[in-house]
Homo-oligomer: A and B are copies of this chain.
Amino acid sequence: MFRTTSDILKGLGVVRPTLLVDEGRARANLSRMQARALRSGVGFRPHFKTHQSPGIARWFAAAGVDRITVSSVPMAEQFADVGWRDITLAFLLNPGELPAIAWLARHLEGKGGRLGVTVDSVEAARALAAVGGLPAAAWLKIDTGYGRTGVPWNDAGGLRAVAAALPAGPVGLLTHAGHSYRARSAADLQALWAGTRERLEAARGSLQDPRLLLSVGDTPTCSIVEDLRGVDEIRPGNFIYYDLMQLAIGSCGPGDLAAAAACPVVGRYPGRREIVIHGGAVHLSKESLPGRGGGTVFGRLGTLTPDGRLGEIIDGAVIVALSQEHGIVRFGPEIAFPDAAELGIGDPVLVWPVHSCLTADLLRHTLILPRGD
C-alpha cells in the first residue's frame, strides 16, 4: 500500500516536505469550472491565492483565462510582474497600501488592463477618492450572510453611503459566501447560492443602478451549482486543487484532489500503531477537520498511481497531531501497521492536506506530477 508511493517519491528526490501537484487533475478541475462558467454565460475570474504560482498560472492562461483575483497587494504585484493585466484585489482596501495600489493601477492601465479594488466603508472609499484619478475599478463588498466583511446586503443606507463616497461610484457588488464552508450537502449549497444571488440583487435594487455587476466566488457553491446565471462573474480559487475540507463539504470527489504533500517518515512506533513524519504545522498548517469517530484530522495518507500521478485516500491512516515540524500519523484497526520493509525510516509518504491553500502557501517547493513535462 505504501511501497510504490514511497519508491516513486524517493525516485523524484524527495527528502523534505514537498508539495505535489497533479497537472492532469488540476487542469481537469480548471476545464470543468471554466466550462460551467461558459455554459452559464458568466465571467470567470479565478482566485490565485490557492496556488500563488506563476508556473501554474500559465495553465490558466493557456486555457484562455485573462482575468484573475488575488488577496493581497504583493500577490497582485507578483502576477502583474509575469504579465497578468486584469486583476481584482478581493481584499478590503487598506489605505496604508494606497501608494503601492496606485502604482499598480497605473501600471496595469498602461498595459491596457485594470486593477479592481474592494471597499465596504465610507472611510476607505474616501481614502481612495483622496488619491485622485486612480484608474481602478472599485467593487462594493457585500455581506450576504458570511459575517466576515462587507456592508450587510439589507443595509440600504450603508450601501448608498459607501457608493456615494466612491470617486466614480462602484463598478459592481462583490461578495464571498464563505459560509458555504459550513454546508455539508448539495441541497444546502443550492439554497445558499439562490440566497446569495437574491441578496446581491436586493442590494443592487437599493442602489437603483441595474448596470452594477455582480461578482461571487467560493469553491463550494461554484462546484455544485450547475447553472450560475444571474451573476456576472465567479471567483472560485480552491477548486484548482480541492482538499479534504472540500471533500467533506461535497464540492469534489476524491479523484479531483490535485495537491498533496510528500513527507518523509522519521519515526516508527508499532506499539502505538503510529508513525511520525517530517511534516508539521509549518508545512501543512494547523487547519483541521473533525474525525469520523471523534478526534481531529490534520491530514490523511494517500497513494500515487504506479505511473506517478496522485492516487487515492488510504482509509484509517490519519494525521492526529501536529507540532512545529512533526506530524503524528495513526493507523486504524482497518489496516495492518506497515512493516519496515514497506515503510522504513526516511521513506516519504503522501499526505492529503485539510486546506490546500494554506499548505501550498507554506510549502514553497513544488513538484508537478507526472515529472517530465
Contact = CB atoms under 8 A, between A and B. Distances in A.
Interface residues of A, number: 55
A120 B267 contact: yes
Given A94-B15, A95-B345, A324-B49, A287 B281 contact: yes
Contacts of A199: none
A346 B285 contact: no
Given A281-B287, A286-B286, A345-B123, A92 B267 contact: yes
B121 A324 contact: no
Given A96-B346, A148-B323, 9 more contacts: A16-B72, A16-B74, A49-B324, A49-B325, A92-B267, A95-B345, A123-B340, A150-B267, A282-B361
Contacts of A96: 10, 14-16, 264, 346, 348
A353 B147 CA distance: 23
A144 to B, nearest CB: 15
Interface string A267-283: 11001100010100110
A interface: dominant SS:
mixed
Contacts of A247: none
A91 interface: yes
A69 to B, nearest CB: 12
A357 interface: yes
A288 B296 CA distance: 14
A150 B127 CA distance: 57
Given A72-B325, A286-B285, A358-B324, A149 B276 contact: yes
A10 B278 CA distance: 39
A314 interface: no
Contact of A71 (B124, B272, B276, B324): B324
Contacts of A344: 123
A100 B141 CA distance: 50
A73 to B, nearest CB: 8
A266 B148 CA distance: 11
Nearest to A71: B325
Give 6 closest A-B pairs by Cβ, nearest first.
Answer: A15-B96, A95-B346, A92-B266, A286-B286, A123-B345, A149-B267
A288 B93 CA distance: 27
A178 interface: yes
B276 A148 contact: yes
A320 B233 CA distance: 31
Nearest to A286: B286
A326 interface: yes
A348 B96 CA distance: 9
Contacts of A317: none
Contact of A358 (B10, B123, B282): B282
A97 interface: yes
B149 A91 contact: no
Given A10-B96, A345-B95, A148 B326 contact: yes
Contacts of A340: 123
A328 interface: yes
Contacts of A323: 148, 178
Nearest to A358: B281
A347 to B, nearest CB: 8
A127 B345 contact: yes
Interface string A321-365: 101111010000000000010001110100000000110010000
Contacts of A324: 49, 71, 357-358, 361
A67 B115 CA distance: 51
